Structure 1
Amino acid sequence: MIRLLYKNLLFSRYLIYGDTLVLDLWEFICRYLPVASGTPPDLIDIGCGSGAFSLGAALRGYRAIGLSWDKANQAKAESRAKQLALDGLTEFPIGDARHLAKLSFGHARFDYALCMENAEHILNDKKLLSDIADLLKPGGVLIFSAPYRFYKAISDGDNGPFPLEETGWHVRRGYSKIEVRDLLECCSLHCEEIGFFSGFLSQKATWLLRVLSRKVGYKLAWILLLPLRPLVFLFDRFTLGLWPGYSITAVAIKSRFRVHD
């Protein structure tokens, strides 16, 4: 019990050092990623960043693969996995999400897939979601998020212009509810639920973090805003009906019978 508590505290340190939007996404993931017991279910985290969500899934009892093209981030994730004694439950291979079919993960292997704030970076998002569906077992679950098309910009760059080629930045502003549902359903991923995350308080806290970071550096800006975080956590969800969420979220189930185009 003490060891598990220590691991969770250490993981929390990795998670909370980001902006509040990251915490919002982890809260959303936890709603649909139940704590596993027995044989660890297989999970793949597409575009895993520095591996925080993959590590969190492993702490919840999953065997997690975090995929990214970024060698530095993957090395950081592997180091964190060792610190948490999770290297036996996690892998962080280097790979391109645009070419999932070429990677040796095995067909219909995973019980869960995470695709968090990744599809907006990829021009052929339909191929991305189709490839993810191929990796899921029948009945497997996709947990998805992307920017909401109608969010209010936090920074000037949120409004574009968006490049016509993949540069690492967003190639589209985001997705509407209809667009998310159509994207998932055309890939034989039955959309169970669509929602929103990161309301007014979370967005404003993130805006303030970005502004202060330019003036005093990220670490000091993060410390200065730390007292606001409990308020954001407690009250932000009540603003979602009054202010557009920054992210649109979805949970989808892979159909038992795959329909290909």
Structure 2
Amino acid sequence: MSTFSIDPVFHGPPASANGGYACGTLAGLAEAAGHLTGPAAVTLHLPVPLDTPLEYRVAGRRGHAWHGEDVVASVASAHGEIPDPAPVTVEQAGRAQAAFDGSGHPFPTCFACGTQRPGTGLGLRPGPVEGRPYTVACTWTPAPWSAGSDGLVPPEIVWSALDCPGGWTTDPVRRPRLLGRMTAEIRALPPAGQTCVVVAELERTEERTALNTTALYDGRTGTLLAKASALWIAVDLATVR
């Protein structure tokens, strides 16, 4: 058993963690515990509280994050291949993000895509890609503060970058959704200052849920750095803290 907490700077909704960052943190704990093989699949059962001690306990091949008597999240090895959206160029991504309309953002201070986080978040602005319905893209150049001592962006922040663009493949203003499950595979960590492209595609929607895939590409070479599949669940904003 180990104890961890999420710093409030990494919030999504004001009082809970950004889903991608929380999932990446759980994946890291699972890898450190030695029960994870290959890509991680993380399910968020409850909003992950901020600045609160949580216990990570291993049970067989799974790990669980506990807050008192509640299981907040679970992590296990993923099964099956994660589809990766076809890449777009830096120029295409630039045009897409120029078309991003963040007005009415349900969580404007979100660490990854919040419009009210100048200089303190990832600043992702995923907008519609010309000629590709239900696909959004943006560029992302990691800031120096987001990198570790080795100059590389840590995995949990890469998970964050893969998270929110998927939410913008639907209309989060009209029907807000929160991340429910995320599976990710990281092949290489980008260094600070390197221009990357994030692409997200909507796979399908079913009543309250939406399934999408995201990918992170090296903006210079087009190399796939990481990819993810995510399930989003519609919420009533009045019930989200």
Same fold (TM over 0.5): no
Q: Identify the structure with the greater strand proportion.
A: 2
After TM superposition, the score normalised by the length of structure 1 is: 0.26
Normalised TM-score (structure 2): 0.28
Bigger Rg, structure 1 or 2:
1
Which structure carries more helix by proportion?
A: 1
